[in-house]
């Protein structure tokens, strides 16, 4: 099974991060490359879920929620790795903390967007029963 190009870019920058860390070089290029690769990979995954006819995600809002959840997971894991390895010898501890804060924000946005999404049953009911007129009916006495 072939590994997709997007996944190879992310794993390649992870290897570059380890090499830079071991050699004592600046790890910023590996962090930046990994972030760009993750954005492309997660964006592609979100678009793919909408386009896939067998997917349970049927709307752009659902795909956005999926992307935000994936970003939150990525940022939490990567932020922890960056912060932990900063103790070994690079100066990007604040980047790890920033990733942790952004992970919390992305997870919070995912929760908000998922609550606003209608379930398939609610969507069918809304389509079948259009909103009623707001005019008041006058009754004779």
Residue 109 confidence (pLDDT) above 80: no
Give the DSSP letter string of 57-112: --SHHHHHHHHHHHHHHHHHHHHHHHHHHHHHH-S-HHHHHHHHHHHHHHHHHHHH
Half-sphere exposure of 38 (CA within 13 A, CB side): 20
pLDDT digits (tens, 9 = 90+) for 41-52: 888 888 888 888
Residue 80's pLDDT band (cuts 50, 70, 90): very high
What are the residue boundaries of the structural domains of the chain, listed by start? 5-127
Structure tokens, 70: 């994936």
Query: At how many degrees (to 10) do helices 60-89 and 28-51 cross?
Result: 160
Residue 128's pLDDT band (cuts 50, 70, 90): low
What is the per-residue pLDDT for 141?
57
- On whether the CB atoms of residues 106 and 68 are closer than 8 A, the answer is yes
Distance CA 65, CA 90 (A): 33
What is the per-residue pLDDT for 113?
54
Residue 48: DSSP 8-state? H
Claim: this prediction has a pTM higher than 0.75: no
Distance CA 8, CA 31 (A): 15
Residue 1 confidence (pLDDT) above 80: no
Average pLDDT in the 1-18 region?
67
Interacting residues of 136 by C-beta distance below 8 A, sequence separation 6+: none
Structure tokens, 139: 């009754």
pLDDT digits (tens, 9 = 90+) for 52-66: 888 887 788 888 888
């Amino acid at each position: 099974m072939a590994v997709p190009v997007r996944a190879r870019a992310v794993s390649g920058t992870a290897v570059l991060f380890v090499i830079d860390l071991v050699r004592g070089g600046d790890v910023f290029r590996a962090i930046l490359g990994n972030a760009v690769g993750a954005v492309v990979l997660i964006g592609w995954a979100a678009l793919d879920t909408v386009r896939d006819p067998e997917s349970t995600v049927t709307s752009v809002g659902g795909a956005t929620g999926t992307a935000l959840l994936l970003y939150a997971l990525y940022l939490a894991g990567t932020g922890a790795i960056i912060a932990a390895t900063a103790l070994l010898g690079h100066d990007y501890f604040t980047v790890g903390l920033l990733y942790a804060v952004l992970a919390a924000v992305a997870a919070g946005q995912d929760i908000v967007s998922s609550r606003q999404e209608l379930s398939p049953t609610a969507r069918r009911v809304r389509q079948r029963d259009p909103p009623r007129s707001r005019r008041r009916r006058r009754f004779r006495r």
